[in-house]
Structure 1
Amino acid sequence: MASKKRMHLEDEAHLATLGYKGAFSRSINIWANLALGFTYLSPLAGVYSLFAFGLATGGPPSIWWIVIVGAGQMLVALVFGEVVSQFPIAGGVYPWARRLWGRRYAWMAAWVYIWAIIVTITAVAEFGAGFIASLFDLETNRDTSLIFALVILALALLANFSGTKGLARIARIGLMAELIGVVGLGLYLFIFQRKNDFSVFFDTMNVAGSGSYLSAFFAAAVVGLFLFYGFEACGSVAEETSNAARTVPRAMILTIAVGGVSALFSFAGYVLAAPDLPSIVSGENADPIPSILESTLGPVGAKIFLVVAIAAFLSCTLSLQAAVSRLIYSFARDGMIPGHRWLARVSKSKVPANALLVACVAPALFCVLIWVNDGILVAVTSFAILGIYVSFQMVVLASLRQRIKGWRPAGPFNLGVIGTVINVLALAYGLFAMVLLATPGSSGDFFQDYVVLIGLGVVVITGLIYLFTARPDKKSDAPENDAIAVAEQVRTMTGANKVV
């Protein structure tokens, strides 16, 4: 008890050094922090959503994108770890960009990120609705998708309103559901239900025809790129995490490591257990996982999996809402967003209730738009992955800029002399990933081929118009661009010079 009280005092003293007074309950330990990031990353949802696409585009070797992207995002997580260790502030991307660069730069990073996460919440709720419909043997159509998506959003909101302890508890339940649904099922499939040989992961199965397989392989990159974000959510709840400067960096790294291994088990299990792999690779079977589960688990086992999957989707939505609400709260606390006083209010249960309402209502409105025209689902979500990577790399670039100016990260998580090398590699990886995501398609349909860039362009342009007309940065006097000065303060306060 005395140790917990001491850590709490140290956390609050660190926060005070950064210019803020704590308004939350520090009820999240490392396992709950990991659970929040892991359920946001959600390998179950990611693999299920892109399994058929990956095989049809790049064949079984598309699994290697999980390894490639996992390694690249680990570099980003290490950079984020150093930043959050010095700046354990609620909101993640926004406060990090602000303290590393400045107000307007941070405003754009947060603006892009908020919209990317809002449409991601929409997509997760829409995908989860299909699982609920399948559980009750209902047809998946526009009406059932809307109803069940709204149910998922509402249940996640109610859980978030329960407070930080409730969030941590449900996130841990979601973590167990994810591990059962991806690692447990994956192991079962390729140990007891294997119908294909391991060599299949090196067999292109002629997906490129007479063309270059390299092009097909790069086109399948989204299999990994869609999976590996969510670890930054560990930092969004930094002010609710005990011993945050040490706990959050470790939780982010564990999220990448455990998420990557889980995704590999899941993807590999489905491939090895597929009774008719050529039909999936040819695109003839566009939704193969239900048939794989039915043939290997039987009707009862498939239903049990649906229950586990629904729990994972609910937990993923919960974590997404929690993360974006803390970012909105952090944005509002600095007076950088319309309605900032209302959005910065913290409820009696120590959660940013009004920001949480926005995190639920905005995706619900998108769900209604999709119900009106279900053809826009791809259009409203396509920019989300690229938008998130853009926001990430704005932080990575700002971190490198500070290092060049002489910044030596001062948190207890510190990479030491290799920090700059890792920062450069993380930026190089991020640019590579963004090029892959932004490269137009070749279908011949202009909107379909350029929808990712169109979506990002709309968000960026509207953000710039508001930024330079309303000038929210002029209304905020919170600290900015002070990484070097704060590093000296933190070193004085904590003596944090060792590498961990």
Structure 2
Amino acid sequence: MTTATPPTSRPDDDAAHLDSLGYKSEFKRDMSPWANFSLGFTYLSPVVGVYTLFAFALATGGPPMIWSFLIVGVGQLLVALVFSEIVAQFPVAGGVYPWARRLWGRRYAWMTGWVYLVALLVTIASVTYGGGPFVAAVFGIEATTDNIILFALLLIAVATVINFLGTKVLAKAAIIGFVAEIIGALVVGGWLLIAHREHNLGVLFDSFGTGGDGNYLFAFAAAALIGIYQYYGFEACGDVAEEVPDPGRLIPKAMRRTIYIGGAAATFVCLALILAVADIPAVIAGEDTDPVSTVLGEAFGPVGSKVILVVVLISFLSCAMSLQAAASRLAYSYGRDGMIMGSSLLSKFSATRHVPPYALVIAAVVPAVIVIGSRFSTDAITKIISFAALGIYIAFQMVVLAALRARLKGWVPSGKYSLGRWGLPVNVAALAYGVIAMVNMAWPRTPDAAWYDNWIVALSAVVVIGIGLVYMVVHPVAGRSTAPYSDAIPSGRR
């Protein structure tokens, strides 16, 4: 692969490049390379991902579930490499939507963005709802349903305020979130390995009978969801492409750093927790349903645990903030291209804060409504959130597929980052990985439940895509957008 680039890029060069793509940006390029990386890292959030799914993964697949971090990390790195080529050529705000637009066309891009936007909005709801109990724990308040909802809304409000303060404040907040999370991961993981290790590394190859009498591969595939749910967030680096100087060179680096550093941090935390769980069979038997709290309580005591809870809470807030930034830039990109109802509002821009205010409002109000809805039906919010990770993967793979189609039709990436002759095989491998991961996420694993609950993840995807198709038929605004599209493919082969 090659990265033949000049060492720096002047603001005029960035503006000229964007102008050649048909846009004049209103954003300020106030986001440094490390802030851009931190945005992706806090979206990926090793702490949030590992702490949320550790109990499930350990109970389902035993300690060998940790190897899913390596497998998924390689797969998502392939996707990130494909994205790097695309964003280097098309550094436009909104990420997967404008990329799909340039690689394929308007309607395909509309559906890609729709799936991704819905997934982002429900992910914001799920992250803030998941952070509610940590707010309660930090302040010593009972984690009732009403309190969790209240604290989730508070997290959404704080994240929204940070985003409304502009790119410079968002960048600083992302860096603070990154520093807090990485220090927390190193301190917690290091102390557990040094002072509270109950097992040696050999335990990572002991399934503790989680496969039953059948093939352990099925148990591992289910437990591997901890890895699959962990490795996204790198695309957020490209969602804010118009706020980063020299984006064609810097954003591909930030995407790769997100995978390397985020993946390493998540794996380290997971390893430390596995080796510190004294009674793994109790977790597998369902006798210890919250091994993370058990381990942290034993290792750090009440005061130390409280400090760790604050770090975890910062991680949840940073994750929600980064998700909201990504969702608002996508909604703004939709509005700027006149691709959806309400485009005139979504495309409006604050001249003082240099942010899209109405797009940010959407990224706050919709998740808040979903969170409030959990008061009336916890089961309903569970079903809605079931779509979140699969939806993000679907949007990713729609871009990967569009890139493969464009290559076969003659597209040669012309940005500052290129895979060269490796582009096609990496693209094919990224698509193959993504399909396997999506099948694993949607695979029914609760045969005793009603059929619609057993297939809830796949059904939720069908519902979201179906609503999008109906909207495109009833309100065919996507086909009337005059913004540039399909220009990656040489004319005559589109």
| CA deviation after TM superposition for structure 1 residue 84, in Å | 0.2
Q: Which residue of 2 aligns with 1:492?
A: none
Return 355-364 or 174-183, whichever deviates more.
174-183
Q: 2:110 aligns with which of 107, 111, 114?
A: 107
- Rounded to whole Å, the distance in 1 between the matches of 2:405 and 2:349 is 34
Q: Which residue of 2 aligns with 1:56?
A: 59
Q: 2:379 aligns with which of 356, 375, 392?
A: 375
Q: Which residue of 2 aligns with 1:190?
A: 193
SS in 2 for 1:371: coil
Q: Which residue of 1 aligns with 2:477?
A: 472
Output the amino acid matched with 2:438.
M
Q: What percent identity do the matched residue pairs reach?
A: 49
Q: 2:403 aligns with which of 399, 405, 417?
A: 399
Q: Which residue of 2 aligns with 1:438?
A: 442
- Rounded to whole Å, the distance in 1 between the matches of 2:69 and 2:218 is 17
| CA deviation after TM superposition for structure 1 residue 377, in Å | 2.9
Q: Which residue of 2 aligns with 1:219?
A: 222
| CA deviation after TM superposition for structure 1 residue 209, in Å | 2.0
Q: Which residue of 2 aligns with 1:134?
A: 137
SS in 2 for 1:409: coil
Q: Which residue of 1 aligns with 2:283?
A: 280
Q: 2:247 aligns with which of 227, 244, 247?
A: 244
Q: Which residue of 2 aligns with 1:327?
A: 330
Deviation string for 1:277-310 (max 9, x for gaps)? 2211222211111111010011110000011111
Output the amino acid matched with 1:160.
N
Q: Which residue of 2 aligns with 1:295?
A: 298
Tell me if structure 2 keeps the 8 A contact 1:55–1:280: yes
TM-score (norm 1): 0.95
Residue 481 in structure 1 maps to residue 486 in structure 2 = yes
Residue 447 in structure 1 maps to residue 449 in structure 2 = no
Q: Which residue of 2 aligns with 1:364?
A: 368
Runs of 4+ aligned structure 1 residues displaced above 3 Å come to 3-6
- Rounded to whole Å, the distance in 1 between the matches of 2:232 and 2:223 is 17
Tell me if structure 1 keeps the 8 A contact 2:18–2:92: yes
Tell me if structure 1 keeps the 8 A contact 2:177–2:318: yes
Tell me if structure 2 keeps the 8 A contact 1:441–1:448: no
Tell me if structure 2 keeps the 8 A contact 1:29–1:247: no
TM-score (norm 2): 0.96
Tell me if structure 1 keeps the 8 A contact 2:339–2:477: yes
Deviation string for 1:378-429 (max 9, x for gaps)? 2111111111111000000000111111111000111111111101110111
Provide the alpha-carbon RMSD of the alignment. Answer: 1.4
Tell me if structure 1 keeps the 8 A contact 2:9–2:245: no
| CA deviation after TM superposition for structure 1 residue 66, in Å | 0.7
Q: Which residue of 1 aligns with 2:354?
A: 350
- Rounded to whole Å, the distance in 1 between the matches of 2:138 and 2:337 is 44
Q: Which residue of 2 aligns with 1:416?
A: 420
Residues 6 and 42 from structure 1, CA distance in 2 versus in 1: closer, same or farther, beyond 3 angstroms?
closer
Q: Which residue of 2 aligns with 1:166?
A: 169
| CA deviation after TM superposition for structure 1 residue 187, in Å | 2.0
Q: Which residue of 2 aligns with 1:256?
A: 259
Residue 427 in structure 1 maps to residue 442 in structure 2 = no
Return 240-249 or 369-378, whichever deviates more.
369-378
Residues 6 and 247 from structure 1, CA distance in 2 versus in 1: closer, same or farther, beyond 3 angstroms?
closer
Output the amino acid matched with 2:318.
S
Q: Counterparts of 1:78-117 in structure 2 under 5 Å?
A: 78-117=81-120
Output the amino acid matched with 1:381.
I
Q: Which residue of 2 aligns with 1:154?
A: 157
Q: 2:146 aligns with which of 137, 143, 162?
A: 143
| CA deviation after TM superposition for structure 1 residue 114, in Å | 0.6
- Rounded to whole Å, the distance in 1 between the matches of 2:305 and 2:221 is 33
SS in 2 for 1:372: coil
| CA deviation after TM superposition for structure 1 residue 6, in Å | 5.6
| CA deviation after TM superposition for structure 1 residue 475, in Å | 2.5
Tell me if structure 2 keeps the 8 A contact 1:207–1:282: no
Q: 2:238 aligns with which of 235, 239, 254?
A: 235
- Rounded to whole Å, the distance in 2 between the matches of 1:5 and 1:297 is 46
SS in 2 for 1:20: coil
Output the amino acid matched with 2:477.
P
Q: 1:456 aligns with which of 458, 461, 464?
A: 461
Output the amino acid matched with 2:52.
S
Tell me if structure 1 keeps the 8 A contact 2:409–2:490: no
- Rounded to whole Å, the distance in 1 between the matches of 2:129 and 2:452 is 22
- Rounded to whole Å, the distance in 2 between the matches of 1:156 and 1:117 is 14
Give the paired residue count: 484
- Rounded to whole Å, the distance in 2 between the matches of 1:465 and 1:373 is 26
| CA deviation after TM superposition for structure 1 residue 160, in Å | 0.5
SS in 2 for 1:483: coil
Output the amino acid matched with 1:456.
A
- Rounded to whole Å, the distance in 2 between the matches of 1:345 and 1:187 is 47
Deviation string for 1:67-88 (max 9, x for gaps)? 1000000000000000000000
Tell me if structure 2 keeps the 8 A contact 1:142–1:374: no
